[in-house]
Structure 1
Amino acid sequence: MSSVARRRRVFAGAILLTLAPLTAQSASDANQAVEEFHHICLAEGPSFLRMSQDAYGRNWELLAEVAFEELAPIADPDSVRVWLTTKVDGGLPPGTIIGFTTASIDGKPVHTCTLALPDIDPDAFQKAFFTRTDAEKISEERSPAQSNRLYILFVSGRQQFVRLVLPVAKSPGKPLVVASSIMAPGSAEQNGSKR
């Protein structure tokens, strides 16, 4: 099978997983999802090398960049790498999209790490996020379908920004909780790392 055909098959699989019926999830699922977000995106900051190692070790499927266009926390990223979980993986439900990007904000480079989590209760996720971190909200935009909030927080002595996109109302299909960390590159390496 060619790499193009494989990417199309994986992307089609991602779409089908996203359209599957919504099932109820418990608060413990939200807690586990927050722990995964903390481990993958926050504890050591966004890291392409570490995320690639996780993808290999945890059997995440590589997706085409187009699968991440609507989820990227910063528009028009310079580079993108995207993966998909096809089964339950620790605290990640099947159909989770994991993305790493490099981008620029006001001419300054940043790295981002995103988890788009299906089947996670948005209120429970937000509550667990606040219990786990010292995040302070600095902005919010609302639409009929979702709220988009930006937070600042410190993890292991490093300043990071977190963007949470939460569905506002129950909608057909499988609404996603989208959590992204945004950080200047090099910060993780300069300050060491802790989980």
Structure 2
Amino acid sequence: MPKTYLSLTLAAAWLASPLAHADGVDRALDAFHATCLAHGPDFERTATLAKTRGWTPLVDGAALAPVDAMKAFRGWQVTGDDLPAGTMVAVTRATMDGRSVQTCSLKLFDVDRAEFEKRFFHRTDAEKIGEERKGRQVSRLFILIAGNRKQLVHLTSPAVRSTANAIIASSIVDD
């Protein structure tokens, strides 16, 4: 009898724990926050982090960049348990509306995009300032304060729910 009681008590404690409810969406949000939002995009810091952690450089990952007028691009396929499986990370130095900016992007796979966006709003003070549909993708632009900096956040995902659940989450800050 005491074994059964202990087992039920442990099971109830586990279900009440936030760890029991952590899933791929929470892990994806944590990865985006730690890599891009907490300190804002930082080209050199991210390149150093990638080298330290042994991430595999991307040959071409320009599609990860949220800004077209790039001056410099570095991208990596994440290896190890640092971030969710298959994650790609990219940083750029670019020009946007005549200003120098830095960007940091994560491409995350097997993430429910609607749930990602819902939890993103729950965790931040983001305000939606735009939306664009282009072909099979929808891009949403938000503004928020994170890492003591005003940041633009650009979320890009498939427009149709039946396509693969992948999302590109990017942060953009003035350089």
Q: What interval of TM-score do these two structures reach, taking the shorter chain for normalisation?
A: 0.7 to 0.9
Deviations 1:47-67 (A, max 9, x none): 122212221232211112x2x
In the alignment, residue 94 of structure 1 is paired with which amino acid?
A
- Which letter does structure 2 place at the counterpart of 1:71? L
- Corresponding position of 2:62: 69
Pairing partner for 2:76 from 83, 100, 109 = 83
Aligned ranges for residues 77-156 of structure 1 at < 5 Å? 77-87=70-80, 89-90=81-82, 92-143=83-134, 145-156=136-147
Matched, 1:161 2:152: yes
Instruction: Determine the structure 1 residue equivalent to 2:49.
Output: 54
Query: 1 CA distance for matches of 2:97 and 2:155?
Result: 21
Counterpart-to-counterpart distance in 2, 1:54 and 1:130: 27
Secondary structure in structure 2 of the residue aligned to 1:151: strand
Structure 2 unaligned blocks of 5 or more: 1-20
Distance, in Å, in 1 between the alignment partners of 2:63 and 2:94 is 15
* Structure 1 or 2: more strand by fraction: 2
1:44 equivalent in structure 2: 39
Identify which of structures 1 and 2 has the higher relative contact order when contacts are C-alpha pairs closer than 8 Å and 6+ apart.
Answer: 1
Q: Classify 1:163/1:74 alpha carbon distance in 2 versus 1 (closer, same or farther; 3 Å).
A: same
Q: State the Cα RMSD in Å.
A: 1.9
Select the structure of larger CA radius of gyration: 2
Q: Is the 8 A contact 1:27 1:124 kept in 2?
A: no
SS at match of 1:50: helix
Q: Report the alpha carbon displacement of residue 184 of structure 1 after superposing the two structures with TM.
A: 0.8
Q: 1:143 to 1:27 in 2, by over 3 A?
A: farther
Q: Distance in 1 between matches of 2:96 and 2:161?
A: 33
Counterpart-to-counterpart distance in 2, 1:111 and 1:179: 14
Displacement of 1:143: 4.5
Paired letter, 1:58: R
Distance (whole Å) between structure 1 residues aligned to residue 64 and residue 51 of structure 2: 22
In the aligned structure 2, how far is the partner of 1:27 from the partner of 1:70?
29
% same residue: 43
Equivalenced residue count is 155
**In 2, Cα distance between equivalents of 1:139 and 1:114:** 18
Gaps of 5+ in 1: 1-25, 186-195
CA contact (8 A) 2:69 2:96 kept: no
Superposed CA offset, 1:148-186 (max 9, x none):
0000000133100000012232445x442000000012x
Q: What secondary structure is seen at the aligned counterpart in 2 of 1:123?
A: helix
TM-score (structure 1 length as normaliser): 0.73
Instruction: Specify the alignment match of 1:19 in structure 2.
Output: none
SS at match of 1:137: strand
